Amino acid sequence: MNESLAVRREAGRIDFRFRGVAGVWLRHYTAFKGGWMIEMTGILLEPVFILAAVAFGIGKLVGEVELGDGGVKYAVFVAPGIIVGNAMWHALFECSWGAFRRLQTNRIYDSILAAPVSMRELALGEITWGATRALMTTAAVLAFATAAGLVESPWAIGILAIGVLTGFMFGGFGLIAAAIAPTTHMLTLVFTMVGTPLFFFSGTFFPIGTLPGWAQPFAWALPLTHPVRIARALATGDLHLGLLWSLLYLVVASLVFYPIATHLLRRRLLV
């Protein structure tokens, strides 16, 4: 443990500065610019391929899905879920796998903390960058969905904000995973045991009401269910007050994950 970290731990409290958060974010943005053309394949092309295959392939076989007081084409139903689902993937990957490399492999965090940057600033900077990546893919895929006629309401612009909140929520969760994972092999469980079930059982590809009765409460408790629900309502114009509960879920989960990630990251780096 370097001297600056020891001094910080003994101090017991460090003032929080948004300049420190911005510095962490800017460091990641600078690294991103160095390979942005390759990065864009994951941000834009991969989710667009998934959306096109599901919406225009499977959508031809499924027809309409009941939603609200009527029905919508399957392609319109599934598009918002795929958009925010990819926001989850990008934030989760950046703040778990990417953060683990910076933490364990490249030891970049040691240099950042010597800047000086506090642990809270480092954690929020990481999560904010994860939310930025989520916003990038949300904007790109939403633009494609709009051009393809898969958006029925001008309220769909609000999906950008939901993509950011999704990024904050899963960025915090991903950073928690990075802080407790002993190896990258264990970290892969975040994607196989968390990300994949969420993507498929949070109402992205079918209404939660089609699940067995005993499984529906579990589906409603899943964190991705709520951004999918809000994004679909915005894309179709089916807005109602019940969406406020889903929005509250997003905000509370983000506020809970951030201090937990900060605590675990501090314990990993300072002990």
What range defines the domain where residue 104 resides?
Answer: 3-270
- Segment 170-184 shows an average pLDDT of 93
Residue 12 has a pLDDT of 45
Stronger pLDDT, 231 or 45, i.e. the higher one: 231
Query: How many domains does the chain fold into?
Result: 1
Burial class (CB in 10 A: 0-12, 13-18, 19+), 103: buried
Above pLDDT 90, what percent of the chain? Answer: 54
36: tokens are 């942005």
Decide if pLDDT at 14 tops 60.
no
The overall average pLDDT reported for the chain is 87
Decide if pLDDT at 66 tops 80.
no
Mean pLDDT lowest for which of 15-29, 101-115, 153-167? Answer: 101-115
- Segment 41-62 shows an average pLDDT of 78
Distance of alpha carbon 106 from alpha carbon 253, whole angstroms = 30
Backbone angles phi, psi at 198, to 5 degrees: -65, -45
114 SS3 class:
coil
The pLDDT tens digits for 183-207 are 888 888 888 889 999 999 999 999 9
Give this prediction's pTM: 0.89
Question: Helices marked H in 34-69 — which ranges?
Answer: 36-40, 46-53, 59-62
Residue 142 has a pLDDT of 93
